[in-house]
Structure 1
């Protein structure tokens, strides 16, 4: 078990804490498992490489939790989890997968209505029985039905980060050679169906390894092998090195993009397939070892994989006017991060130290405001203390921590902190976290009201979506984009793979209007700062150049924008 699987151990500890909450167990025991999960998730060292004595040196891990961790590493489970699972109906934990349903709600549903499955939950909501439980009500019933609908529509798709991790795990056990992701994973879509991999290695060297790791061999061949691995379908395509570019191109583009390229090839007397370009006159196959050769033969400049969706990129490639897309190396800082001041795990000093390691010029410390009940938010007094701490920490670091806040946009558009407090900050993010299901006009006016406040610099995760868990709010995006342009407010591209909000379509519309985009990881723990690459990938899908992105600017340019 490697460092990348620390998250799996943490997930099991968190599951134990949730089940203990459902069973109304001892609060101290629940908190111990929560602290243990957080400690494992934060650890930069693989938990599997640590002895019991090592684990006991980690803050937040006691004797009982250390024993549970060792058991999970060695067997995949532990006695506490197995004991809890025996005490509850087998489908009860699935209720926690529904957005808005936490352990306390599950406890009420089970205790008062004997609801033990998602199917029973949906039936109870449709028959208006949920509202009979004290503390819930008709609005909660409506929210539950919406959340169940979203859950049903997941259809087995993976988050971008999940697909990337599984794909890299597959490649890591295969013979050394040339491998590339293809399909929607290479294009950087926010959710992925199957994982496509192209390699120049021969099937005879790869297939035996695949047999060792596959839960099921779907199809095994010399040109293509398909397997199930961790419940996901993986398609491996074996390409001749001389044909690699054509194969990779063929398997990367969307269906519509590939049709567009084939039509262009036909117009030039060629036929494009996964092996190369067939000259219709001479019947000669023009083999293409790289993608650039295919594009040259078709009279096109190179189209980056993220743009291959048939949204005008072929015409722009013909006229050689494709934009120079933003790259990760252009990013000078992170414009959304949380510290221990609210619900993050890093101190201001640790945040600055990590920024130094990343060669960032700045990180915006944007803890939640106290008005947001789901997090330990900062009051005006707490914010003042944090500002002082930032001033002291910045003296010792190259990366400067910017004084900020993620202030809550209340249901009527007012902000969760007074203007006098916001005016003292370097940069202010305003976000909607509650009453997400307002009608279109109400939630749109609410966000525009926040943008009209002179102290608001960035609107955080504008649609509020959680991929696969919560649908976007019904905001009127054309009105939001126009207001952002008129008020010169940046819109966030939240780089968390669970959000990727704004998505690529809205990003393209935004930059066409001249709206500035701020990429923030919304990091709460160290490893989440690496999510910046998902933000950049999504920005590239939205045709964003470096100049369109706020955090490609120097710290002085950034401060000019915020002023």
Structure 2
């Protein structure tokens, strides 16, 4: 089995934790944390990079020690320094730290004083009162830990962005309704950066100083609040019934840009930005930019002026990962990121003919309401009898209906299908029927337990079919519910390029598939990406924002996305034999230059 970047990143994150427990230097701890974050966001395989004799030290955040340990792990399957750290610490320390509310010092205290090494042991100690009796613990802290343990049994501690975003938007709406004097109020943190799972929800806003405490008062009284953690004039933290923590921070309008930037993160982006500022004689915090020589503080009202003060162009939140975005900003090489407005169509929609909930006509109307030039109805193939798939005869009937409906709507209606990729890589429908379709989305829905080599060859065989337009939700994952299938992403993307097959960025918030790092690599290789919603209900077409966010995190511009092509060019693309489609895609004549505009809370407007 290939070693994934995620596996290597987890190793270094664990080493940072162990060093923290041991009381090692903060610089060494941060180096391992930085390496873990860097590796988890790489678009290419570290294992492949080493095979290609790439010097890992050229990657920001990876120094000599990290490079050597990475090579040691890939060559031997172990890291001696990690094993030595494990041997120096009490058994069970890492297990205890998986419980929210238990940090490194608390875990060490519990293992040393109580000899506990399991979650079940913690529960027993709480019920017996021995945990609360520990120094600096107390009954309230013990009760909170018990609540976190109970919550862990239903989820992994992070919330999929689809759920978190709905909670954040409902909370913001409730606060705005009761506090009309709040001038700006936006999600920050990982939610604003559109990461696929969220820890806590950070909200930052502006209100007159004498009214700021009133906003916190409203928050703690919301019906959904289960527990109040902090309640002050400028900061209030609560836990909602869903188990999600919401942290509200309020500031002043003239310094809102610095505050929003600081709490939007990411931590690694802010570290690199702080180092950049220090070299130029400035220090940064949530209140503004301080001139180290004079002590003067610039209080910036919006993020644009914040970055401009540092001599940088605005860096979109989706790019703030802490890898190479600052280098690109300094070189004037930031992308003009794709926006929702750039999309000209949706190529993956379902109706009540298979497992959708609405008639064909309502799905067409929903596409018209989005302002699209074209759409493809792609109900499921019959496959193994799942999802009420269409038989050959029903598909022919549906194509006739779609063509009859064309004259009734101001949008080009394309005949399509989401065709199951069988276990051996063949497709459900016969070749002559597939050839009649305008758009074929080929997806895996069965035999998901195949090994990596088998799954990779299975999908590649589907790509080689002349009628397959797009590979749908390639990993098949469902966030927090189903693990992705195993495959060689590099081999898949190279095959997609060679065969002229597009790869889907599935916008369904429970999928978000391809994920951002895979989409990033697809863009690097020149593989067309199609941002689709996989809608099973007419309201779901609005979920395109999740797919657009993935593409933005992958540094995609309009020119990298297949369904930003205007109608005439898109029709030319799908009517061209696959080996030559890339020529159409790469010679597009629409303007590829878009602006990084606001979508939802992605880039909030400047304060007045």
* TM-score normalised by length of structure 2: 0.67
Counterpart CA distance in 2 for 1:218 and 1:452 is 56
Counterpart CA distance in 2 for 1:549 and 1:181 is 27
Residues 348, 389 of structure 1: 8 Å contact kept: no
Residues 268, 321 of structure 2: 8 Å contact kept: yes
Picking from 314, 334, 340, the partner of 1:322 is: 334
Q: Does 1:200 align with 2:201?
A: no
Query: Which position in structure 2 is the counterpart of 1:209?
Result: 218
Picking from 189, 195, 199, the partner of 2:195 is: 189
Q: Does 1:334 align with 2:334?
A: no
Q: Does 1:526 align with 2:532?
A: no
- Per-residue deviation at 1:400? 2.3
Query: Which position in structure 2 is the counterpart of 1:403?
Result: 415
Picking from 394, 403, 428, the partner of 1:382 is: 394
Query: Which position in structure 2 is the counterpart of 1:220?
Result: 231
Residues 231, 237 of structure 2: 8 Å contact kept: yes
- Per-residue deviation at 1:222? 2.4
Counterpart CA distance in 1 for 2:234 and 2:486 is 46
- Per-residue deviation at 1:154? 4.1
Q: Does 1:504 align with 2:516?
A: yes
Counterpart CA distance in 2 for 1:509 and 1:453 is 23
Query: Which position in structure 2 is the counterpart of 1:52?
Result: none
Counterpart CA distance in 2 for 1:405 and 1:372 is 15
Query: Which position in structure 2 is the counterpart of 1:465?
Result: 477
- Per-residue deviation at 1:556? 2.3
Counterpart CA distance in 2 for 1:298 and 1:376 is 57
**Could you list the per-position Cα deviations for residues 17-65 of structure 1 after superposition, in whole angstroms to 9, with x for gaps in the alignment?**
xxxxxxxxxxxxxxxxxxxxxxxxxxxxxxxxxxxxxxxxxxxxxxxxx
- Per-residue deviation at 1:283? 1.1
Residues 406, 428 of structure 1: 8 Å contact kept: yes
State how 1:31-180 maps to structure 2 within 5 Å: 154-174=155-175, 175-176=179-180, 177=182, 178-180=184-186
Q: Does 1:309 align with 2:318?
A: no
SS at match of 1:161: helix
**Could you list the per-position Cα deviations for residues 444-487 of structure 1 after superposition, in whole angstroms to 9, with x for gaps in the alignment?**
00000000111101000011110001111111000001001111
Picking from 477, 483, 506, the partner of 2:495 is: 483
SS at match of 2:503: strand
Picking from 370, 373, 378, the partner of 1:358 is: 370
**Could you list the per-position Cα deviations for residues 518-555 of structure 1 after superposition, in whole angstroms to 9, with x for gaps in the alignment?**
11111111111111111111111111111111111122
SS at match of 2:550: helix
Residues 188, 260 of structure 2: 8 Å contact kept: yes
SS at match of 1:395: helix
Residues 254, 308 of structure 1: 8 Å contact kept: yes
SS at match of 1:209: helix
Query: Which position in structure 2 is the counterpart of 1:237?
Result: 249
Counterpart CA distance in 2 for 1:520 and 1:479 is 23
Residues 366, 539 of structure 2: 8 Å contact kept: no
Residues 348, 393 of structure 1: 8 Å contact kept: no
Counterpart CA distance in 1 for 2:431 and 2:568 is 23
Residues 443, 474 of structure 1: 8 Å contact kept: yes
Counterpart CA distance in 2 for 1:290 and 1:153 is 39
State how 1:404-483 maps to structure 2 within 5 Å: 404-483=416-495
Counterpart CA distance in 2 for 1:209 and 1:163 is 20
Query: Which position in structure 2 is the counterpart of 1:277?
Result: 289
- Per-residue deviation at 1:559? 2.1
Query: Which position in structure 2 is the counterpart of 1:299?
Result: 311
Query: Which position in structure 1 is the counterpart of 2:9?
Result: none
Counterpart CA distance in 1 for 2:458 and 2:159 is 32
> Tell me, which stretches of 5 or more residues in structure 2 are unaligned?
1-119, 121-151, 576-608
Counterpart CA distance in 2 for 1:478 and 1:152 is 35
- Flag the 1:488–1:152 CA change in 2: closer, same or farther, 3 A: farther
Residues 164, 198 of structure 2: 8 Å contact kept: yes
Question: Alignment RMSD, CA only?
Answer: 1.5
* TM-score normalised by length of structure 1: 0.72
Residues 184, 192 of structure 1: 8 Å contact kept: yes
Counterpart CA distance in 2 for 1:485 and 1:310 is 29
Counterpart CA distance in 1 for 2:276 and 2:194 is 25
Count, aligned residues: 414
SS at match of 2:386: coil
Counterpart CA distance in 1 for 2:418 and 2:339 is 26
SS at match of 2:263: helix
- Per-residue deviation at 1:371? 1.3
> Tell me, which stretches of 5 or more residues in structure 1 are unaligned?
1-118, 120-150
SS at match of 2:408: coil
Counterpart CA distance in 1 for 2:459 and 2:153 is 29
- Per-residue deviation at 1:152? 6.5
Query: Which position in structure 1 is the counterpart of 2:60?
Result: none
SS at match of 2:388: coil
- Per-residue deviation at 1:271? 0.5
Counterpart CA distance in 2 for 1:556 and 1:504 is 29
